[in-house]
Amino acid sequence: MRWLRRLAKIFAVLTVSLLLLVVTGASDTLLFYARIARLYTEPPDSKLAMPLEDVLKKEIADTWQAPRGVGRRHEGQDIFARRGTPILSATNGYILKIGENSLGGQTVSVISKGGRIYYYAHLDSYAKGMKVCDPVTTRTVLGYVGTTGNAQGTPPHLHFGVYTATGAINPLPLLTDRTAPTLTKKETKSKNRLVSRKA
């Protein structure tokens, strides 16, 4: 009978602990960290989607490790576009950080497979409603191209960086052009009907 009371006490403690986690919101945080831990077990992406939809890889001037002031080198690629151009996640993952710093201005960091962190900087603004822990796909808008941080006075651009456990790596070899979505037969027919109505 003692073991039954002991088991009941353990069950009660677990129930109260679980209830506290749910009430305080800590369960969401624990779930987020469990998802992050799982990402570390997966191999990192060998190809990344271009973070700006209408920019081709061949249009990017390779600025990796270019001198940036005294004793500093460029740890990423600058991708130029009109102010306000939507910035898409280059990979599936989770929003790790949203914030500001003196170099990057308004920034977003996404964590993905292999624990790699994808850093998006100089944002003019963030996507509405986005928050830390949110899942993202390669179709998720993170924010919009701008000139915040140390990019003030330069043409609008996205600074895109990739960070591993050992430091920054050049994202340019990993980037691939985005392809236009493939239309199904049904979508093609409805698109043709819309076109012919305009004519």
Q: Output the domain CATH number for residue 97.
A: 2.70.70.10
Are 68 and 151 part of one and the same domain?
yes
Are 32 and 71 part of one and the same domain?
no
Q: Note whether 157 and 122 are within 8 A (CB).
A: yes
Are 132 and 98 part of one and the same domain?
yes
- Rounded Cα–Cα distance for residues 6 and 38 (Å): 34
Q: Is residue 195 part of a domain?
A: no
For the residues 144-151, what does the mean pLDDT come to?
A: 96
Are 78 and 172 part of one and the same domain?
yes
Q: Is the pLDDT of residue 111 over 80?
A: yes
Domain that holds residue 13: 2-40
Q: Is residue 159 part of a domain?
A: yes
User: What Å distances lie between residue 108 and 49, 119, 150, 153, 182, CA to CA?
Assistant: 16, 6, 16, 21, 29
Q: Is residue 182 part of a domain?
A: no
Q: Note whether 158 and 120 are within 8 A (CB).
A: yes
The per-residue pLDDT for 154 is 94
Are 123 and 73 part of one and the same domain?
yes
Q: Is residue 15 part of a domain?
A: yes
The per-residue pLDDT for 34 is 85
Q: Is residue 150 part of a domain?
A: yes
Which pLDDT tens digit goes with each residue over 7-35? 676 766 666 555 555 555 666 777 888 88
Q: Is residue 199 part of a domain?
A: no
Are 91 and 31 part of one and the same domain?
no
Which pLDDT tens digit goes with each residue over 29-44? 778 888 888 899 999 9
Are 33 and 100 part of one and the same domain?
no
pTM of the model: 0.78
What is the tally of structural domains in the chain?
Answer: 2
Are 55 and 72 part of one and the same domain?
yes
Q: Is residue 188 part of a domain?
A: no
Are 76 and 36 part of one and the same domain?
no
Q: Note whether 129 and 74 are within 8 A (CB).
A: no
